[in-house]
Structure 1
Amino acid sequence: MVRSPLTPQQRAAGQRLGAFLRECRGDRKPTEVAHAAGISPETLRKIETGRLATPSFTTVAALASVLGVALDDLARICLPEQDLPSTG
């Protein structure tokens, strides 16, 4: 199966996700976070830099758990602003 190229919106969402996860990691070493999440440090580096714009759900869930981030927060970051559900 050939994967379709990512859209500009998907790449932008991946960059937002990566930047947010990097911010959440804070001063923790990438190797520490990656191993705790069960992924390689290179995979974490690719996610944080936006080079891996669409990581698997299990990878995102593992990182969210290790970093103490709610999956709802990560979902909001990945949605384009016009697609955000209203809260009021």
Structure 2
Amino acid sequence: MNQSLIFGDDVTVGENTVIFTAQQQGQNINCKISFVALGELSLLQVNIHNAAMAFEQVRFDIEELTEHAIKDELFEDDGSILL
């Protein structure tokens, strides 16, 4: 894991995504994973009711994917990362 990248404990469930924050060199980066991508990782049918639980089950994998996306500079127009 990249020591300069820190993941917060914040997890917010939206309509079709789970939103979380990464911090790199003091800058917050808003990150999102779609229910579809989360379902592929967790092998669950993800919905608004179980998304937070599914996220926690595969948090390490999500953080690793996010780390790679940030390293590869795969930012959205608004500066966020979307998995």
Larger C-alpha radius of gyration, 1 or 2? 1
State TM-score, norm by structure 1. Answer: 0.30
More helix by share: 1
Larger relative contact order (C-alpha < 8 A, sep ≥ 6)? 1
State TM-score, norm by structure 2. Answer: 0.31
More strand by share: 2
